[in-house]
Structures are given as C-alpha cells and as structure tokens.
Structure 1
Amino acid sequence: MKALSDFIDRLTSWRIPWAEVMVIHRNETVFRYRSGLSNLEEETPIEEGRIFRMYSMTKIMTCVAALRLVEQGKMLLNDPLSAYLPEFAQMNVRKRLPDGRVVFEKAEKPILVRDLFTMTAGLSYDIGSPSIQQAVEQTEGKLPLRAFAEALAKEPLVFEPGTRWNYSLCHDLLAALVEVVDGRRFGAYIQEEITGPLGMRDTGFDLSAEQLSRLVPQYEYKDELGKPVRKDGNGYRLGTEYESGGAGLLSTVSDYALFLNALTNKGTSPDGVRIVSPATIDLMRTDHLTERTRGDFGWEQLKGYGYGLGVRTHVSQAVSGSLSPLGEFGWSGAGGCMAIVDPDSGLTVMYAQHLLNNQEPYSHPRLRNIVYANL
C-alpha cells in the first residue's frame, strides 16, 4: 500500500506532526505505517506504544458498554431516562419566541434512553454551564459522573427530546447511566467487561506512571504562526474523578485496534472473547436519523453517512463518493484519530494523530478511499 504510506508522509510533511495507520483485514494486520515526530521540540520520531487521547472515539466504547446492558435486559432503548436517573423526570426547554424573547417551557416529551445514544436528548456541549461549574466546586474538583448527571439535569434543554440531532454531552450522560444501572464506576465497568477481556492493557481514563511516560505530546496548529504549537491536556475532563464517556479515554494504536476489530467481527474478538452480539452490532450501525433530524447532521466529511448508536454509518455511496461499502461505520476524535469498522469486508482501520484543529475533513475521506482502493 505505497499510496497509503505516501499519503501519511504527505500529511506529516504538511501540518500534522505525526500520523499512524493500522489496517487489519480478516484478522491479519496487512499494513502498518507511522511517520513524523512525536515531539517537535526534541525532534523525536514517533514510536510504537505511544499513548494519545482518543477524545470522541471514546464514544464508540461508551455506546458498546451501554448496549451490553440492553442485551442483558437491564434497560431498553425506549425506556424513559428518568426511570434510572430521576432528576431528568421534568425538564425545561429553552425556546426563543418570534419577537426574540427567550422563555422556558416544560418539555412535552421525556428523554428516552435511545436519545442519549442518538444525540437527540436536547442537550448541548456546554461544559462551562453554571450548574456543572457549581458541581465541580461542590465536589472539590472531583465531579464523579453521578454528580455530573445531577448538575446537567438542572440546565434547560435546547430542544424537545427526539426532535433534533445535536452533537452534545449525551454520551457523557450515557456513561453516568451505565454506572447507575450496573453499579460499578464507569472506568471499572469498561476495564472488567471490555478492555480487560480483550487484553487491552493501555486503554483507560487514568494512566500509571509508566504509561504517563509514553503519553505523546499534543499540538494545535496555529495558522497565524504557520506551525503546530504544544497544547497538552484534555479540556473535556471536568474533574479528577470524571470518566468522560464522550471524550475521556487514552489508548494506543495497537490497543484500540483490538476493540475495533472485535466490532468488525460482529462483537467477538478473533480468540473468542464476545463483547456484544452480532444483532447489537447491526442495530448500532443502523441509521437512526429521521426525516426531522437528518438536516442537523451536516458535517462535510460525513456526506452520505447517517448516524447510528454513537457512530457514523455509510448510507449512500452516491452522496459520499466513498469507496467503502454501505454499513461501514465508526467515529473520530478531536485530536484527529479515526476508526473504520467494516464487518462485511472484514476490515478494521485504526488511524491516529494528536493535533487539535485536526484537518479531519481533508484527511479522513482521502485515507478511507486509499485503503479501499488497495484492499
């Protein structure tokens, strides 16, 4: 796949400090390539085993974690959220009247469990909202998920549940729901039910001292300077005990590929560890957008894709211009990583980088086409 290594080199000679791709076909790693510098100041080449922030690629694992509870009959997608998190029983919706006035009205519809998966709960991504900031102070900077959920319920919704699609804190709230329904802390549940059984030793919300030594620096590209500038940390981590289901995991290319490849195999790893069922994978990659919500899902690089349970899912090659088959699914993260999960082709792609303002609309569709053209 010379075209793919050439493309990675092109990215790293452009504005992305380092990039790495791993391609697994029918459970065999058929291609792997990395290029660029993990540390620009010290000019260190990117090495194997470096840990980076998954950001929103965490969402795939959070949705899988929650779907396990659906499989076990512990909750249903059509249950009201308030059956488990009673603070969401009576929500207010912020509405702007034609004369410009803002009013708050009682929500007519309940938030359903499915709304958390599908980003239709009426939430925003306002991590600086007054209720959340107050909860951070009250928990002395810890903000465990249960306290986060209680704080979020005090904020008005931005639309009636189920009526619009809005990228938001839905999956962070879904992690809090998992905690309440299962009883364990979210990170412990993930470790005991998913990452541990799959042999993923470098994936979690917190790092050991040894893992911290392998955390790769993070950069942000500054157009006015014409270069990437160091910018470490994760702004979506709201407290020391906050295990963000939307953006909190750290991992490596090799580690996260183990998880993604289990999804490619319809929920079971090559050595027989079953995380979820084939039926769940198919439900996850079904397009859950409706005529009413489809217009809200408008990112340029996701033309021709619908939205499933926490993942993009390919619904129209005519619109996407993508060489991947229908039903190919996955998601990406703020630092630029991307997952391609394709059960029908037996294909898993794990792409990684660590650059905020990540150039995703340029790199991700091109990367996908190069992989499929060389399959």
Structure 2
Amino acid sequence: MDFKPLSQFIDRITSWRIPWAEVLVMHRNETVFRYRSGFADLEEKTPIGESHLFHLYSMTKILTCAAALQLVEKGTLLLSDPLADYLPEYAEMTVRKTLPNGGTELVRAERPITIRDLFAMTAGFSYDIGAPSIREAAERTNGRVPTREFAAALAKVPLLFEPGTQWNYSLCHDVLAALIEVVDGRRFGEYVREEITGPLGMRDTVFDLSEDQQGRLAPQYEYNDELGKAVRADGNGFRLGTEFESGGAGLFSTVSDYARFLNALTNRGTSADGVRILSPASVELMRTDHLTESMRGDFNWGHMAGYGYGLGVRTHISRASSGSLSPIGEFGWAGAAGCLAIIDPESQLTVMYAQHLLNSQEPYVHPRVRNAVYACL
C-alpha cells in the first residue's frame, strides 16, 4: 500500500482553503495510514493534533440510526410501526399541497408516518429549524428544548408531502432520537453512552463537552470569498437548546474515537475487540437502498450519483454512475463541516476523514478522498 497520493491530496486542499484535514484508514482492523495537515487554529498557528475534537454534525445520523436499529433487534420497534403509536402528537398530520393556481392549502395526511420513514428521510419533514413552533418551544422551555419537546414542536409543522412518497433530507433523525427516549426511557445521550460509545470505549464522542474536552475543541471556520480566507465561525446552529441532544447533528468527536464506531459497522456490527453493537443482519438492512424509483429523483445531489439511500446512510449501487473506485455496498455519510465516513465490509476498510470548515467543499473533496484511498490500497 502506497498512500503518498492521499497525503499529497490532503496537503493540496489544506494549502487551498481547508484550514486542516486528517484522514485515518483502517484495513482488517489495523490502522494502515494516518495523516494530518494544517492548523487547528489559524490565528495561533496551532497544528491539528490527534486529540482535537470537532463537530460531527450529520455524521451523528449514522450512530442515531444504529441506536434505533438496536431497538428493532430487541423487538421494541418495527420499521412498519406508525410513529404515532409512540409519539401520539404525530397522529393527525397535515400536508401542504400546491394548488393549480400556485396557492397552497393544508389537507389531512392520508398516510401515517412510519418508523421506516424516519430512518429513510421519507416522513415529509423539512430542515426548517426556525419554524414558529420550534421557536415557541425554545421560549417556553427557557432555551432548554429537551429532545422530546423538540419532536412535539415539529409535529405542529405541516408536512411537505405524503409520508412514504418522496425523499427529503430533513429533521427525521432528530425525531428518531426522541423516539428512542420514549420507548427506552433514558435520555438519548444516556442511551448512546450506555449502549454504544461506552461499550466501544469512545470517551470523546459526546453531546456535551467536559472542561477538558472544551479545551481540546478545534476552532471552526467558514471560508470568506470576499476576504479570500477562512474566518472563525464557532458554534453549532443545529443545537437548538441546552438540553437538545440532536440525533441529526449534535455529537462532538475525534478522528480516533469515531473510527472505532465506524469500524464496528465495517465488521458488520462487532468491534475489533469483540464488542457487538449490532447484528450483521441489521448492518445489511442499514446499507440496503431503500429508495423507490419515484424517490430516486429526489436524491439528486451531484456528488451522490451512483448512490442510493439506506437507513441513515448513502449506499453505493452503481459504479458506472458514480465513477467511484469503491465497491458496490460501500456506505457512510458526512457532516456539515466536512467530515466523511467510508464503511466497506467487503474490503474490510474503514475511513474516517475530518475537517472543520463550514461551506466545506464536500462535492469536491469527498469523492476525491474516496478514490485516492482505494487507489492507494
């Protein structure tokens, strides 16, 4: 294995507009390559280090879906169950319909939202975190917005379409976190700690930082085209309240820590040291393409060509369409500040890539990182 082209690519993007980047490659449970370049703090010229934490943003979604699949394995949930069986505020949803004259009207939803819809982003939600009912929940709870309160507030927002008929990237996995709280009884963060991160030895994957972790949090940046440089942009805009444990975008982690979780999925649910968090059957279900033909046009992001959507993850379905060097069945997801997960059971390959830049250049960076990794093997 010669990873020189991958390190050269990392050097190129960190000399371009990405303040820092790090990649860790595991093959057959062994770390075969790790490389980092750039500055965690551009102002202080602090090199990025192994223990720096960063926002995972939407890469949280993979772990949230794994947590919910644990409850499916226990018989607590079925994917076909109506969401309203557990969260009754979702019993009578409305859908915003567009009229022939261009106007809109609200009508009663004909289909119930199912648990599968939450996993597969087909519930009809949007990603409007500023909806009036959500703002009201923030005011009513004095800025706390517990996860369960968030889900109750979102239920007041009209759906974009009939559940199960279209795909739309949305707040589905935040509701999935609230569902876990309701059926299990623990707070979502507590469940995650006791059932996934604790058993896997992931001490730095958390919703709330300790004092030590706060000191290791890497500054976050956003590239300013007018200034021609990256400027500080700290904070997580998806953290809607002090008690909101966002299943869609709330976790912090490190490269080493989150790679433990990803590698367990590469091993079809069991870590290198024998800790099982999911069955192989659940991992297969997660990476199965759940899009119908009518939904495929909704999942139309250019850099996702050749990929379908599973239970919280992209999943590779056509090499001809993707142009990717990864095999069919490679899966994973990414985050708003640019981190990327590549999970590949067939190749026994796990890749954890990280950076901390909003307007992350994901369509440019991620396909190139992936192809460089596979070319180096």
Aligned residue in 2 for 1:311? 313
Aligned residue in 1 for 2:105? 103
Q: 2:53 aligns with which of 45, 51, 56?
A: 51
- Once the two structures are TM-superposed, the CA of residue 8 in structure 1 deviates from its matched residue by 0.3
Letter in structure 1 aligned against 2:25: V
Aligned residue in 2 for 1:263? 265
Aligned residue in 1 for 2:247? 245
Q: Map Cα deviations across residues 257-316 of structure 1 (whole Å, 9 max, x no partner).
A: 000000000000011100000000000000000011110001111100000000000000
Aligned residue in 1 for 2:75? 73
**Any idea what SS the aligned residue of 2:167 has?**
coil
- Once the two structures are TM-superposed, the CA of residue 94 in structure 1 deviates from its matched residue by 0.5
| C-alpha distance in structure 2 between counterparts of 1:297 and 1:334, whole Å | 17
| C-alpha distance in structure 2 between counterparts of 1:278 and 1:86, whole Å | 32
**Any idea what SS the aligned residue of 2:334 has?**
coil
1:228 equivalent in alignment to 2:230: yes
Aligned residue in 2 for 1:18? 20
- Once the two structures are TM-superposed, the CA of residue 96 in structure 1 deviates from its matched residue by 1.2
Aligned residue in 1 for 2:351? 349
Aligned residue in 2 for 1:42? 44
Instruction: List structure 1 runs of 4+ shifted beyond 6 angstroms.
Output: none
Q: Percent identity?
A: 73
Aligned residue in 1 for 2:149? 147
Q: Higher mean Cα deviation, 251-260 or 92-101?
A: 92-101
Q: 1:92 aligns with which of 94, 118, 121?
A: 94
Letter in structure 2 aligned against 1:338: L
| C-alpha distance in structure 2 between counterparts of 1:99 and 1:334, whole Å | 37
| C-alpha distance in structure 1 between counterparts of 2:224 and 2:293, whole Å | 38
**Ranges in structure 2 where 5+ consecutive residues have no aligned partner:** none
- Once the two structures are TM-superposed, the CA of residue 77 in structure 1 deviates from its matched residue by 0.2
Q: 1:131-142 to 2 correspondence within 5 Å?
A: 131-142=133-144
Aligned residue in 2 for 1:293? 295
Name the TM-score, length of structure 1 as normaliser. 1.00
Q: 1:140-179 to 2 correspondence within 5 Å?
A: 140-179=142-181
- Once the two structures are TM-superposed, the CA of residue 249 in structure 1 deviates from its matched residue by 0.2
**Any idea what SS the aligned residue of 2:297 has?**
helix
Name the TM-score, length of structure 2 as normaliser. 0.99
**Any idea what SS the aligned residue of 2:15 has?**
helix
Q: 1:184-203 to 2 correspondence within 5 Å?
A: 184-203=186-205
- Once the two structures are TM-superposed, the CA of residue 12 in structure 1 deviates from its matched residue by 0.2
Letter in structure 1 aligned against 2:251: L
Provide the alpha-carbon RMSD of the alignment: 0.5
- Once the two structures are TM-superposed, the CA of residue 39 in structure 1 deviates from its matched residue by 0.4
Aligned residue in 2 for 1:9? 11
| C-alpha distance in structure 2 between counterparts of 1:328 and 1:314, whole Å | 5
Q: Map Cα deviations across residues 17-59 of structure 1 (whole Å, 9 max, x no partner).
A: 0000000000000000000000001111111110000000000
| C-alpha distance in structure 1 between counterparts of 2:319 and 2:264, whole Å | 25
Instruction: Count residues with an aligned counterpart.
Output: 375
**Any idea what SS the aligned residue of 2:60 has?**
helix
- Once the two structures are TM-superposed, the CA of residue 122 in structure 1 deviates from its matched residue by 0.4
**Ranges in structure 1 where 5+ consecutive residues have no aligned partner:** none
1:283 equivalent in alignment to 2:285: yes
Q: Map Cα deviations across residues 131-160 of structure 1 (whole Å, 9 max, x no partner).
A: 000001111100001111111111110110
